[in-house]
Amino acid sequence: MAYIFILLFLISCICLVVGLIRPKVFGRLFQGKATRKQIGITFGVLIFVSLVLVGASPAPEGYDRQSNEPKAEPVISPEPEFVKNEPAEVKSEELQEENTPVEPNLPAPAPILDNTSVTEPEVKSESKEERNQAKDLFQVTEVVDGDTIKVSVLGTLRLIGIDTPETRDPRKPLQCFGREASNKAKELLSGKKVYLEYDPAQKTDKYGRTLAYVYREDGLFYNAEMIKQGYAHSYVQFPHPRLDEFNIYQSEARENERGFWAANTCNGDTTKAASSSKPKSTTPLSISPEINKDGFIPGTCASLKKLGLGNFREGDPNYTKSRDGDGDGVACEMN
């Protein structure tokens, strides 16, 4: 039966090729003008049907459909004479050996990687600048004096480990080099952004001020810089993590006579009043007694400084807010 379907398949293929080349040949079959489309559909269906029927029909006896070759007849070899004459016990032993499964010599399995124990990547240590950028930055809103500032969010900060000459303590006079220390603080911190480090043992002082080491956004360590340049003492009254480091900076500043350690400034003694560190002016005053009647000397700070007058503190008749441009409590400041 399969041969009939194969023959049908071959005829359909030939008709399809001829019909596509010369469709007029099949004019009678299609009762009129035959088109290539009609011919293609008709014989295409026949080709498809013949293929399906060929596949579904049983293969001829003795024919292997997969290899398209006749099945080979099994060759039965005659049993040797010595096998026929052997006792049944020997044959049973041979059969038992033949039926014993032979374990194949397979190659060793490849090791399976355990994805659960993945080696963690090496953690790259951050540089100092990267650590600084990760910290919270605060805007400096006011420089009170050399060791006290105000920042956004937190308010007043008392800087750990440094002590600068007083400029605003009502119980003390303006101390030697206090004005210079205050001006240096303003130079380094005014309008800057800073990040903070704290002493884990004590974060606030008895006045409720936050205690902190202050670093500028560019990495300048302000507390240490003031000691190095001779604008602040290492504050040894209260121990803190960087006390030994600050003491070394102070020794270097003293040996090099920087800032208030110089002989022509305070010689290291900042407890004395600032006026005692300045020589008294010997310039005669060209001001009449009538102008000095109530103790107030009219004029601008520039004109008063030319006469050797200035540094008027609050309470002095010559102190006015208009003369105190920076609002630090001292009018007509003289360096």
Integer Cα distance of 211 and 93 in angstroms: 98
Catalytic residue among 65, 142, 197, 209: 209
CB 65 within 8 A of CB 30: no
pLDDT at 280: 43
The whole-number average pLDDT for the span 67-91 is 52
- Residue 158 designated active-site: yes
- Residue 28 designated active-site: no
pLDDT at 282 over 60: no
To the nearest whole percent, how much of the chain has pLDDT over 70?
68
Integer Cα distance of 45 and 168 in angstroms: 109
pLDDT at 276: 47
Would you identify the CATH topology of the domain 129-277?
Answer: OB fold (Dihydrolipoamide Acetyltransferase, E2P) (2.40.50)
What are the tens digits of pLDDT across the range 220-235? 999 999 999 999 999 9
Residues of the chain with CATH 2.40.50.90: 129-277
- Residue 166 designated active-site: yes
pLDDT at 107 over 70: no
What are the tens digits of pLDDT across the range 114-132? 555 445 545 455 454 444 4
The whole-number average pLDDT for the span 170-177 is 85
- The rounded mean pLDDT for the chain is 77
To the nearest whole percent, how much of the chain has pLDDT over 90?
37
pLDDT at 100: 57
pLDDT at 65 over 70: no
Angle (CA) 35 39 41, round 5°: 115
